[in-house]
Amino acid sequence: MKVGVIGVGKMGKNHARIYSGMKDVDLVGIADPDEKTGKQIAEKHSCSYYSDHKELLAKGNLDAVSVCVPTFLHHRVAKDVIEKGVNLLIEKPIAGTMKEAEEIVSLSEDRGLTLAVGHIERFNPAVQELKKLIDEGVLGDITSILARRVGLFPPRIKDANVIIDIAVHDIDVFNYLLEKEPQNIFSCAGKAIIEDREDYADIFLKYNGTNGIIEVNWITPVKIRKLNVTGTKGYAELNYITQDLTLFESVYKKEPDKFGDFVVKFGEPKKKTVKVRKKEPLKMELESFLDAVRKGTRPLVTGEDGLRVLKTATSIMKKCG
């Protein structure tokens, strides 16, 4: 399978690294207007370098491509890729606006192409194990999900606020775990250090019986990526970075007190470290994408999924405004 990468910044260079090491995959070339960086990456992985992505699309005879350019360029580059009939994975978010995202999804469907969106946390092995626990009813009915994704501002981000850049990860994970979209949205965001964009936000999402809370910011001096899930039968703690997952099974019973009223008595919870086979999420994401291209099946994170996440993120920003 012949593949390419358009945009070799922080994420794009990792796409190139992983593609170049895959069996039965030929990294044909990479495209980036930064000639110095582009040539270095191309030389490192023994592939061709193009300063213009259109030239890569014209000469590469590609089966699939990763679009890893800044968000404001997603729509333009994706249209060029689709026009050439090449299957594509677009790094999150799918686009900068709902109109652009809808057009990308529509055009790819019209051409019968595989369109995946790079919501990488879906491929975190700990998240996948947590999904199994929830689906098996181990946690019971889910009452709340709490995510903390905080740390210092990444200077490379020039065109997105903290909601579009990182809150979308947890919005997608919430939708994935609960298999639905939020019905109500409440949020508060602000600009603490960065003057032109929101750099912190607290988001409250209502999912018909489940409360979802997301704290995101670019001002906390330590990097935290954690997820907590509470259900009627237990509680789970997940660390996105270490891929550790801990389960606490609730122990309680209802019995009458001396007045004849039933009371709930809790015992010591049963703590269990869930076995997680740790892997690089990006590698799993790209393997899944190419597998979907080969088999003509739906990718784990579809264009429609990306569209739903962007819809929620856009609503959050409107509520903040």
Supply the DSSP string of 31-61, one letter for each residue: E-S-HHHHHHHHHHTT-EEESSHHHHHHHS-
Are 255 and 290 in contact by the 8 Å Cβ rule? The answer is no
Q: Indicate whether 266 pLDDT > 90.
A: no
Residue 193's SS3 state is coil
Handedness of CA 218, 220, 226, 230 (dihedral sign): negative
What pLDDT was estimated at residue 204? 97
| 147-179 pLDDT, tens digit each | 999 999 887 777 789 999 999 999 999 999 999
The model carries a pTM of: 0.92
Reduce the DSSP state of residue 13 to 3 states and report it.
helix
Q: Given pLDDT bands bounded at 50, 70 and 90, which one contains residue 268?
A: confident
Domain 2-120 class, CATH top level: alpha beta
Spell 141-160 as b/e; 16+ CB within 10 A means b. ebeebbbbbbbeeeeebeeb
User: ∠191-201-302 over CA atoms, to 5°?
Assistant: 120
Confidence of residue 258 (pLDDT cuts 50, 70, 90): low
Enter the DSSP assignment of 269.
Answer: -
**Percent with pLDDT over 70 in the chain:** 95
Q: What angle do CA 296, 133, 281 make, to 5 degrees?
A: 50
Q: Where are the domains of the chain?
A: 2-120, 122-283+308-320
CA distance 253 to 69: 55
pLDDT above 90 coverage of the chain, percent: 88
Residue 242's CB is within 10 A of a number of other CB atoms, namely 12
Instruction: Output the CA torsion sign for 172, 141, 203, 312.
Output: positive
Domain 122-283+308-320 has CATH 3.30.360.10: yes
Q: How many Å apart are CA 175 and CA 304, to the nearest integer?
A: 12
> What DSSP string runs through 69-104?
S-GGGHHHHHHHHHHTT-EEEEESSS-SSHHHHHHH
Q: In this model, does residue 264 exceed pLDDT 70?
A: no
288 to each of 64, 98, 119, 261, 293, how far by Cα in Å? 12, 26, 12, 54, 9
Q: Give the gyration radius of the chain's Cα atoms.
A: 22
